């Protein structure tokens, strides 16, 4: 058994560092023993777009917090109360920390677990939500392991598809959740705000669902090229043309059946305002683009932002064009995704080659733990890559 645990830590805005920590114990953040827990050896641990909120300083976290909430690992230790997992199992870790026992967890609403964060009904690894260490590390403690961990049925088969399966902790089920809440189905026309990794997962998930026309809007041409080459229509939001006019040029009508905001408060304006931050722009885009009676999923992160321009936005109040949208009888669903609601089915879709275009859409790049701080900087600059950290050299091998 290893003695230490090298991990990526938040040091200050725009600065991550790798340091040696103690090997994790089967203990809760409050020091209480966790016989229901497990220790994992990280096989793949990704950098997520949500991590950039922390990196930039928009989501305050304590100095020295272990980063990361997208983890795939191998079980190396289990507590005495764990019955369905054994050492050597390869598993996916949902980013929502959930007990499996409270009212919300029993209703499969694991994104709002009532017990794993004393301050609010929401807990996550590496996100200052319940003091749970993140997984951009060599090893990770996971509580309630029997409930939380998704075991891959065949380890060798899973390792062959590990770049895709590594997306099951967060961005693929999150993207799928946005489409489900927006009512996407076979034949739907879909607008996706944002061509970052989660938006590209949304495009791939829309194809899995049988959507007809999938339109993706973004400012980065290399990201748009990725989705364009995989069967999507694209809109360059830096063009000084109203979004609905650009949708009409593609569809013949200025609206879609459903739309999803995969951006959140770090959105920019359109056209001449493309270089300026406009925290409410993405949600206003999808409200504007969705037809009367349609639905919208809001997956992008919203909340108080100390870097926002106005006092209201710093406190988490945003100028939403709801008055204009209200007449269309919209249905809007927002918040984190309950990963366990979708991850098993999406795992099977990957294992049985129902999403063969996922890797091409995501443009995954495997890096070492020591390369993670530089990868954060590259990702922050708009890189089209999805960075997967390989702490033990298991993927390159």
Q: Kindly list the structural domains of the chain, giving each domain's residue range(s) and its CATH number in brackets, ordered by start.
A: 4-170+340-389 (3.90.180.10), 171-334 (3.40.50.720)
232-278 per-position pLDDT tens digit: 999 999 999 999 999 999 999 999 999 999 999 888 888 888 888 88
Average pLDDT across the chain, whole number: 95
- Rounded mean pLDDT of 388-396? 93
- pLDDT tops 80 at residue 396: no
pLDDT band (50, 70, 90) for residue 360: confident
- Rounded mean pLDDT of 210-231? 95
Candidate from 167-171, 324-328, 350-354 with smallest mean pLDDT: 324-328
Q: Mapping DSSP to helix (H, G, I), strand (E, B) and coil, where does residue 239 land?
A: coil
- Across the beta sheet with 214-218, the strand order is 233-236, 214-218, 190-193, 256-261, 290-298, 331-334
Predicted pLDDT of residue 266: 86
Query: Structure tokens of 103?
Result: 């009212």
Q: Which of 244, 227, 172, 182 is nearest to 205 (CA)?
A: 172
Query: Structure tokens of 362?
Result: 């995501």
- pLDDT tops 60 at residue 397: no
74-94 per-position pLDDT tens digit: 999 999 999 999 999 999 999
Q: Do 169 and 93 form a contact (C-beta atoms < 8 A)? A: yes
Query: Structure tokens of 246?
Result: 């650009």
């Amino acid at each position: 058994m290893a003695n230490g645990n090298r991990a990526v830590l938040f040091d200050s805005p725009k600065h991550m560092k790798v340091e040696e920590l103690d090997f994790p114990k089967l203990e809760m953040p409050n020091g209480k023993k966790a016989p229901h827990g497990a220790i994992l050896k990280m096989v793949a641990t990704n950098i997520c777009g949500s991590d950039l909120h922390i990196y930039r300083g928009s989501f305050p976290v304590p100095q020295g917090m272990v980063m990361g909430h997208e983890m795939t690992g191998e079980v190396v230790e289990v507590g005495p109360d764990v019955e369905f997992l054994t050492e050597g199992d390869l598993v996916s870790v949902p980013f929502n920390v959930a007990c499996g026992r409270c009212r919300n967890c029993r209703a499969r609403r694991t994104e709002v677990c009532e017990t794993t964060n004393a301050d609010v009904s929401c807990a996550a690894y590496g996100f200052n939500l319940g003091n749970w260490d993140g997984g951009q590390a060599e090893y990770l403690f996971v509580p309630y392991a029997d409930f939380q961990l998704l075991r891959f049925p065949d380890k060798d088969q899973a390792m062959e598809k590990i770049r895709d399966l590594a997306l099951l902790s967060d961005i693929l089920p999150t993207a799928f959740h946005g489409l489900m809440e927006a009512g996407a189905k076979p034949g739907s026309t879909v607008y996706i705000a944002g061509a970052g990794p989660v938006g590209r997962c949304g495009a791939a998930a829309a194809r899995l669902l049988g959507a007809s026309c999938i339109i993706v809007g973004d400012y980065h041409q290399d990201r748009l090229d990725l989705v364009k080459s995989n069967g999507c229509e694209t809109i360059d939001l830096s063009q000084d043309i109203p979004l609905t006019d650009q949708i009409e040029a593609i569809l013949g009508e200025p609206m879609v059946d459903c739309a999803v905001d995969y951006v959140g408060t770090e959105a920019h304006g359109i056209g001449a305002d493309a270089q300026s931050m406009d925290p409410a722009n993405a949600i206003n885009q999808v409200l504007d683009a969705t037809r009367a009676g349609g639905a919208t999923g809001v997956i992008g992160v919203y909340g108080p932002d100390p870097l926002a321009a106005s006092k209201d936005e710093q406190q988490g109040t945003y100028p939403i064009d709801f008055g204009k949208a209200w007449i269309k009888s919209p249905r809007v669903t927002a918040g984190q995704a309950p990963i366990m609601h979708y991850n098993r089915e999406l795992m099977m879709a990957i294992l049985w080659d129902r999403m063969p275009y996922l890797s091409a859409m995501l443009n995954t790049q495997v890096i070492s733990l020591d390369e993670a701080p530089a990868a954060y900087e590259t990702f922050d600059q708009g890189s089209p890559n999805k960075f997967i950290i390989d702490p033990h050299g298991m993927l390159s091998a």
